[in-house]
Structure 1
Amino acid sequence: MPGIEDLALSPATLARVFARQISTWDDPAIAADNSGVAMPALAITPVNRSDGSGRTENFTEYLAAAAGEAWPFGPDGEWPVEGGESAQGNSGVVAAVAGGAGTVGYADLSQAGEPGVARIGVGEEFVAPTPEAAAAVVERPEPLRGRGPYDFALELERTTAECGSYPIALVSYHPGCLAYEDAPTAELVADFMTYVTSEEGQAAAAEVAGSAPISDALRGQARTAIDAIGTAS
């Protein structure tokens, strides 16, 4: 938006924007989140993914958990709100936001680029999406219950009020088998996962995809699963 260098949005305000309940950037709810900033009387155009997407499911999961009655939908990989503008893939959403006036969308931080990103309300502060802030929210949850001993799927605390945490983080997983038909395949998978979870592999992922590096604690958990990979007896 012209003249706006920084944008802050509370969970309820963010939800109402994407639910098309707030239609202009000078709405009182947005003004309250951006005290001292003269927001323009500009129409808001939300941009969502046109294709089924894990990013959409992740975003709507956050809104459903954190925004209360402001978001009357559940988590869904298909965008649940009618109207607005849609685009194919992360790159399509980013291009639509960058090429529009008053547009707002959701995408991977590594692709957000020129349009800029908003800070999200967490507790008493507004937090920007950084690798450190994403890592902070991933570090705290316990693994989901009822899973196998080497399944480390996490249920993120979307309603966290912890300082410096960014709750719209998306966790990517590397599934694998404990037993393969032959030793070379088992060794290849173990070597690949060892690299991916290593400091070197995490640094490469951060550089290429903007991923937040995992902690030493999570690396240690992954190591126990990697060490268990073998061949079928």
Structure 2
Amino acid sequence: MHPPRPRLAPSARRAAAARAAGVRRTRRAAAATLAVGALLLSACGSDYPLGEEQRRAAEANTSDLSGTITGVGSSAQSAAMATWISQFSSLNPDVRVQYSPAGSGAGRTAFLAGGVAFAGSDAFLDDDELADAEAACGPGGAINIPAYISPIALAFNLPGISEIDLDAETVARIFRGEITNWSDPAIARLNEGVDLPDLGLTAIHRADDSGTTENFTEYLHAAAPGAWMDEADGSWPSDLGGENAQGNAGVMSTVTRTVGAITYADDSVVGAASGKARLAVGDQFVAVSPEAAARAVESSTRVPDRGGHDIALHLDRTTTAEGAYPLVLVSYQIYCTGYRDAQTVELVKAFGGFVVSPEGQELAADSVGSSPMPAGLAGDAAAAIESITTR
């Protein structure tokens, strides 16, 4: 046990809090500057960065929207975001939406520093971050809007094996470094009849502050608390060590070239060459799929004591619903409730509304295999985006 912290006098506590807040603002401002700089570099060039199709659309389209909005964040959203931006830009050729998939933590940092119009994040703003958002967004703060639903796959590289069964406790022990060989009895007992090799097992985790990691560790802590004692967090537990890589694409690249490796990643980036684990849910094993992820989200509940238009969700990681896959990621787009200029309001409402619309959700499902939002949730998301105003 840690010794009790010394209690400071009120004036000292206020001074310490002010110093800490100043450090946070400085770090956030620096991160926001870097992120926005990268976005501006990527935006240089043609007035129609999507090419000839966008130029023709500009000549034929009657949309009067124009301007630029920038976002930073979730790499899980990256492929879907490319699809959304492409289609939205075809419909609104004079609008430029820029997005840097630098990771959920980087996105929230840049947004809270006032460096971007919106953030993509695989974890909603917590209570402290919501309080901090008032500095960037005004007294109304920010809102979390579900935009992208996808299962997190447990992807592995075992030549000749495309599917194995795992339960939460075994997964926890693998990623804690307690199971280091694929022939371990804990894996073998779940996979009778599978010719598991006597081969070293390498677990790969995310190096960056990641909403995918937060969702993964939340699942482990809820479904296997005896094996995974750490609380959910976007940063990998520092005492565990192990091999890591940057972003969803980075961990999958490492697994692809490392025989015996396993990782957790957004299912949209897992190629056909990688195997995927089925997860124990009640007395069944459920394969990763958009439909199974959607079933898990249907049993979610809203986080209480938040504004009426904030749609942060508690996911039931221990569900036993038939066909539900509980290792699911709900990725959010985070907006201010109000912006200083009307043009920004018009642009974020148009783009955000398109993302959560049936057309936007179907585009993502068709292009990257995500799960379209349940109708009720999509309706709430559309109403939340429509509530954004000037301040």
**3-state secondary structure, aligned to 2:305:** coil
Please tell me whether residue 91 in structure 1 is matched to residue 241 in structure 2.
no
Any unmatched runs of 5+ in structure 1?
A: none
- Structure 2 counterpart of 1:40: 197
Separation in 2 of the partners of 1:10 and 1:60?
14
**Offset at residue 93 of structure 1 (A):** 0.8
Q: 1:214 pairs with 364, 368, 373, which one?
A: 373
- Structure 1 counterpart of 2:294: 135
Q: 2:309 pairs with 109, 130, 150, which one?
A: 150
Which whole-Å deviations, capped at 9, do the CAs of 1:130-153 have from their partners, x for residues lacking one? 111111111111100010000111
Amino acid of the structure 2 residue aligned with 1:54: G
Amino acid of the structure 2 residue aligned with 1:122: V
Please tell me whether residue 105 in structure 1 is matched to residue 263 in structure 2.
yes
What TM-score does the superposition give when structure 2 sets the normalisation length? 0.56
**3-state secondary structure, aligned to 2:288:** coil
- Structure 1 counterpart of 2:144: none
- Structure 1 counterpart of 2:325: 166
Please tell me whether residue 20 in structure 1 is matched to residue 177 in structure 2.
yes
**Offset at residue 182 of structure 1 (A):** 4.2
Could you say if the C-alpha distance between residues 52 and 176 of structure 1 is closer, same or farther in structure 2, counting changes exceeding 3 Å? Answer: closer
Length, aligned pairs only: 232
Q: Which has the larger radius of gyration?
A: 2
Any unmatched runs of 5+ in structure 2?
A: 1-157
Separation in 1 of the partners of 2:323 and 2:378?
22
Q: 2:276 pairs with 102, 117, 120, which one?
A: 117
**Offset at residue 188 of structure 1 (A):** 2.3
Separation in 1 of the partners of 2:284 and 2:257?
30
Structure with the higher fraction of residues in strand conformation: 2
Q: 1:82 pairs with 232, 240, 260, which one?
A: 240
What TM-score does the superposition give when structure 1 sets the normalisation length? 0.92
**Offset at residue 3 of structure 1 (A):** 2.8
Q: Percent identity at matched positions?
A: 50
Q: Root-mean-square deviation (CA), in Å?
A: 1.7
Amino acid of the structure 2 residue aligned with 1:108: D
**3-state secondary structure, aligned to 2:360:** helix
Separation in 1 of the partners of 2:365 and 2:224?
29
Higher relative contact order (CA 8 A, sep 6+): 2
Amino acid of the structure 2 residue aligned with 1:5: S
Separation in 1 of the partners of 2:207 and 2:385?
37
